[in-house]
Structure formats: C-alpha cells, structure tokens
Structure 1
Amino acid sequence: MATEITYEQLNVLNARYAQCIDDDRLEQWPDFFLDDCLYKITNAENHRQGMAAGIVYADSKGMLQDRVSALREANVYERQSYRHIVSMPVIGEPVQGRVSVETAFLVVRIMRGGKTDLFATGKYVDQVAQDASGALKFAERIVICDSISIDTLLAIPL
C-alpha cells in the first residue's frame, strides 16, 4: 500500500458512500468499488455460519452497475429513500495492499408518504484498497444485518 489509510479517509469514504445512496445518486454507487470486488448483504446468523450466499450478491463492479440499471429500468417497488448513520471505523492490520475495516450502521427508510421506519442495523465488514490513482475503494463490502428478518422491500443498496 502506497500510504497508510487513516480514520479521516475512511470516515470520508463512508460518509460519501452513504450520501450517494441517501441522495439517490445510485448510478455513482458502483464507483466506490474496485472493478474486481465483492458486495454482499447477509444477516448475522448466516455470516456466523459461514454461508456464502447473500440476499444481494455481486462479485464485480459490472454486476453493481447492472443492479442499478435494473432498479431504474426493470424492478417495480414503492418509492423510498434511506438515511444512513455510520459509526467510526475500526481499522485492522493491512494485508497485501488491503486493510480490514468494520463500521456499524443504522439505516432508516423514508417511504413516499413520509413515513419513517428503522430499516436496518448492522455492520459493514470491508476490505479497502487504493486503486491505481490512489483513491480508496471497497475491494469487499459485506453488509451484515443484525436481524435475521430482512424486509422484502430491500431494493436500494445498503
């Protein structure tokens, strides 16, 4: 890794990631990931048991772009938006140009009529790396939801 990854850099990365989703700029969401990446949403129980499949699973930036295209053009779901609150990251040791990071999150969902509900809590388990330009990107983002019950209206990325 060319430089050490700091708390400030990770906080900015997480804040911009959340803002991108919360502001419905989903076409920009895949840009937070390396081309060869993993994005998965699962629950804590399945994660503990080592189950590889997730509620959402994408193993490339292209798959993330396809997911956004499907959300915009093919999927039918009730209009909604999110508001993310993320904690300070807990940074692990760097290994082979990547650093492990865990960050707790809380997401509220705002429905078309304005009704707001607690939607998801959990943690992001990430592998973060610098791309060729030195920008921080997610090599992996595993979204581990605390609840084993996932809302069937999970359309927007967490």
Structure 2
Amino acid sequence: MTPTHTPALPGAAPQIGFEDYVAIARLYADYAQAVDSGDWDLWPEFFTEDCIYKLIPRENHERGFPLATLFFESKGMLKDRVYGIRETLFHDPYYQRHVVGAPLLRAAGSDRFEAEANYAVFRTKLSQASTVFNVGRYIDVIVRTPQGLKFASRLCVYDSEMIPNSIIYPI
C-alpha cells in the first residue's frame, strides 16, 4: 500500500514544531503577565530594537487607514512611553488584566512567525467594579533573536470605535 498525501486545507495553519509553538504561546502569556504586573520596564523587552507597536481601531485597519490611537516605531519609543506612564501622565490609577486566546499561526519560517490571538482587557479602578476595557486581536510578527522570541511588530486591533477615557497602559 502506498502512502497518500492529504493536501492542506485552505487557510490551515502552517506546520511548526511543538517547541516553537510552545515558545510563542509562552511569549503571549509572559507579555500579558508583564503588562498586568505594572512593571513597565519589562514591556519594551518583548520587542526588537526596530519594532512597530500600534493600537488601531478595527475599521481603520480593515480599510487600510494609517491613523492609529498609539503608534510607536522603535523600542526607544516604547521606553519613552514607559517614562510617560511613570513620570508625566496624570490619571486615576487602575489595574488591568489580559485574557489572551491561543495564538493562531498564519505563516512560519525558521526565524520568523506571523501569528494572531484574540484578547480582552479588563480594567479595575480602585473602589469600583471591573469593566471590559478593550477587546480585539493581536496581529504579530515574531522573530527569533539571540535573546529568544521577540515581537518585531504588534498590531493591537481593537473592535470598538470608541475607547473609554484614554489608553495609558500597553494593551
């Protein structure tokens, strides 16, 4: 009996090794834990030096409009945002908690991956009930570096056209 080849289904995830998938899932989990912990120095370390971080409404993303709520083009800009969070932005303090879905791999190479994951961010202001703050999906380009996997690009595409008050902390 000769083996048969079953073609991949249209839209099927690319094949990657178990270790790479676990490393990508761990990157997502570690990122959520870092931004939820409030240790802002951790956040830029998830990115390459020449990264892109963009928080953009779904409508703008789908129509190809460049306008984004937040747009940073380097790790240095992320570090400037951390400085702003700590030193210059005045706001009611709050906690945030990320719930992130399992990453879906859209493309994979030996040192580069394209992945997506749904997310929901809950916000809790002191002495108030928790509320849904931001919901959407991450669209990421992840690269292998000597320090491990890093985001070369992270688009946070949020579903609502409206955001409550302001976005201070990373999504």
Asked if TM exceeds 0.5, the reply is: yes
Structure with higher RCO (Cα < 8 A, 6+ apart): 1
Structure 2: gaps spanning 5 or more residues:
1-15
Moved more, 146-155 or 119-128: 146-155
Does residue 1:61 correspond to 2:75, yes or no? yes
Q: Corresponding residue for 1:150?
A: 163
> How many residues are treated as equivalent by the alignment?
155
**Contact 1:77–1:153 at 8 Å: present in 2 too?**
no
Q: In the TM superposition, what whole-angstrom CA distance separates every residue of 1:120-140 from its partner, at most 9, and x where no partner exists?
A: 11100000001133x000000
- Aligned counterparts of 1:148 and 1:104: Cα–Cα separation in 2: 17
- Aligned counterparts of 2:162 and 2:31: Cα–Cα separation in 1: 24
- Aligned counterparts of 1:21 and 1:107: Cα–Cα separation in 2: 11
Q: What percentage of residue pairs aligned between the two structures are identical?
A: 32
Q: Corresponding residue for 1:141?
A: 154
Per-residue deviation at 1:71? Answer: 0.7
- Aligned counterparts of 1:146 and 1:79: Cα–Cα separation in 2: 24
TM-score by length of 1: 0.92
Structure 1: gaps spanning 5 or more residues:
none
- SS state of the match for residue 38, structure 2? coil
Alignment of 1:80-95 (within 5 A): 80-94=94-108
Is the alpha carbon distance of 1:108 and 1:66 closer, same or farther for their aligned partners in structure 2, counting shifts above 3 Å?
same
Per-residue deviation at 1:114? Answer: 3.9
Moved more, 36-45 or 6-15: 6-15
Q: In the TM superposition, what whole-angstrom CA distance separates every residue of 1:70-108 from its partner, at most 9, and x where no partner exists?
A: 110001011011100000100022258421100000110
